[in-house]
Amino acid sequence: MRIRDIVITGNPVLHRPCARVEHIDDGVKDLVQDMFATMELAPGVGLAASQVGVDLALFVYDWVDDDDVQHRGVAINPTLLIEPAPVGPLDEEEELEGCLSVPGERFPLRRSDRVTLTATDLDGNEFTIHADGWLARIFQHEYDHVLGVLYIDRLVEPHLSEARDAIHQIGWGVPGFSWLPGRDHLED
């Protein structure tokens, strides 16, 4: 098991749809182990394969809710049914989202409160999870990665311009940037 570099926005693998996983072989199993370890160290609550530079449609997640229930798993070839998002003004504190591929930044984004995830686990078995609240947000964020979409792509003004300015100022948005959890310290 090893900690993998997390690629930063601008790397092409983050900005195109991921390839379907055809075989759950040892390479995929090793990848998933590495992703759990990388996510834990980062730390984060979700991580997609594309974020460690691997063009495969899968993500891992690990999040403990307010009732101390742990939600942890891997979703291979996921599909996501997303109920319509609520309307109304954004809550700029409660709806803040971040991404390990845009490290140190957070912006508010409206998400649906309720989704249904269907995917395959490491044993090749299909499963379905009905999620609401923050877990629904995690699934939407990670599923977006599989589609080649970052949460910053979905921002509305003025946050869209703020994000673009921040990324431009740091010099990201072009290929070649990554960071390694445990070695690089990035302000959150």
Active site residues: 142
Q: Least distance in Å: CB of 104 to Ni ion? A: 13
Question: In the complex with Ni ion, which residue's Cβ is closer, 22 or 178?
Answer: 178
Could you list the residues that contact Ni ion (CB under 5 A)? 99
3-state DSSP of 128-181: EEEEEHHHHHHHHHHHHHHHCCCHHHHCCCCHHHHHHHHHHHHCCCCCCCEECC
Question: In the complex with Ni ion, which residue's Cβ is closer, 39 or 99?
Answer: 99
Question: In the complex with Ni ion, which residue's Cβ is closer, 89 or 138?
Answer: 138
Distance CA 153, CA 179 (A): 21
Q: Are 53 and 7 in contact (CB under 8 A)?
A: yes
- Give the tokens for residue 127: 């499963």
Q: Least distance in Å: CB of 96 to Ni ion? A: 13
Q: Least distance in Å: CB of 87 to Ni ion? A: 25
Q: What are phi and psi of 130, to 5 degrees?
A: -90, 120
